[in-house]
């Protein structure tokens, strides 16, 4: 961490009312972003990045600190324990199906099971599986002016053409999902109300995210020769 602080810093950006992103520059590791969500009932840090420095800590504290953390999947666990300790040992919510991937058995990690779990301030976790057995997304019902937001990490992954998303078991190795898995992932999102989808790499779907996911699912299934219905 000390060496990382010598060469890099975090950049914070206001995305919309009550929402900011945090990412490291120059890029480090796979370059994902974390999001700080102000629910009015406490802040949640969604996903995690490795670098934490005094500037970032001060910036977060000015916005009320962190009441809880939640992380989509093991690729983003990074220095989650360091972050939690800096903000009063706040709980880190992870699905129990991914317990085996938690290398640092931090006492702050709180496991949940099942398909959905409410947090606070209108936030809820949804297990979609797929990329990892316990892969989870975060639903912010009050986001986007009350029309709803999904924080998806990299599943669904927002494409370069932001009118589309896609689904992969392994992005570095370009291993796709089968039809049943894609249907399970998209079915888990169907009951939720949302118009926006925030991805982990600075690409977001800002309008009609739910229809974007549906037509992307159908395009994917056609591409692998599977039925869309």
**pLDDT exceeds 90 at position 198:** yes
Q: Is the model's pLDDT at 60 over the cut of 90?
A: yes
Mean pLDDT of the chain: 95
Q: What is the DSSP string of 144-192?
A: HHHT-EEEEETSSEEPSSTT-EE-EEETTTTEEPPHHHHHHHHHHHTTS
Backbone CA torsion sign across 65, 4, 201, 125: negative
Q: Check pLDDT > 90 for residue 227.
A: no
pLDDT at position 108 is: 96
pLDDT of residue 106: 85
Coil, helix or strand at residue 43: strand
Pick the CATH number of 8-223 from 3.30.530.20, 3.60.15.10, 3.90.1150.10, 3.30.830.10: 3.60.15.10
**pTM summary value:** 0.96
Residue with tokens 């986001």: 143
pLDDT digits (tens, 9 = 90+) for 32-45: 999 999 999 999 99
pLDDT digits (tens, 9 = 90+) for 148-192: 999 999 999 999 999 999 999 998 898 999 999 999 999 999 999
pLDDT attached to residue 21: 98
Percent of the chain clearing pLDDT 70 (strictly above): 100
Q: Is 65 left (phi over 0), alpha (psi -120 to 50) or beta?
A: left
The pLDDT tens digits of the residues spanning 64-89 come to: 999 999 999 999 998 999 999 999 99
Contact 186, 166 (CB under 8 A): no
What is the Cα–Cα distance from 15 to 51, expressed in whole angstroms?
20
Task: Output the pLDDT for position 229.
Answer: 65
Q: So where are the chain's domains? A: 8-223
């Amino acid at each position: 961490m000390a060496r990382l602080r010598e060469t890099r810093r975090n950049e914070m950006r206001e995305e919309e009312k009550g929402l900011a992103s945090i990412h490291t520059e120059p890029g480090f590791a796979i370059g994902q972003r974390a999001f700080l969500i102000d629910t009015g009932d406490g802040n949640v840090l969604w996903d995690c990045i490795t670098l934490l420095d005094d500037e970032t800590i001060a910036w977060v504290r000015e916005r009320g600190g962190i009441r809880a953390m939640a992380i989509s999947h093991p690729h983003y666990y990074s220095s989650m324990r360091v972050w939690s300790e800096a903000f009063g040992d706040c709980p880190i919510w992870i699905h129990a199906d991914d317990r085996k991937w938690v290398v640092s058995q931090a006492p702050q990690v709180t496991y949940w099971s099942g398909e959905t779990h409410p947090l606070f301030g209108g936030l809820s976790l949804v297990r979609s599986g797929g990329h990892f057995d316990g892969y989870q997304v975060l639903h912010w019902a009050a986001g986007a002016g009350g029309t709803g937001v999904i924080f998806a990490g990299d599943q669904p992954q927002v494409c370069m053409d932001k009118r589309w998303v896609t689904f992969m078991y392994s992005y570095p190795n370009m291993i796709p999902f089968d039809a049943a898995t894609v249907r399970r992932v998209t079915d888990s999102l169907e009951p939720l109300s949302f118009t926006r989808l925030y991805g982990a790499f600075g690409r977001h779907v800002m309008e009609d995210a739910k229809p974007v996911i549906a037509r992307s699912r159908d395009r994917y299934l056609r591409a692998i020769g599977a039925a869309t219905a």
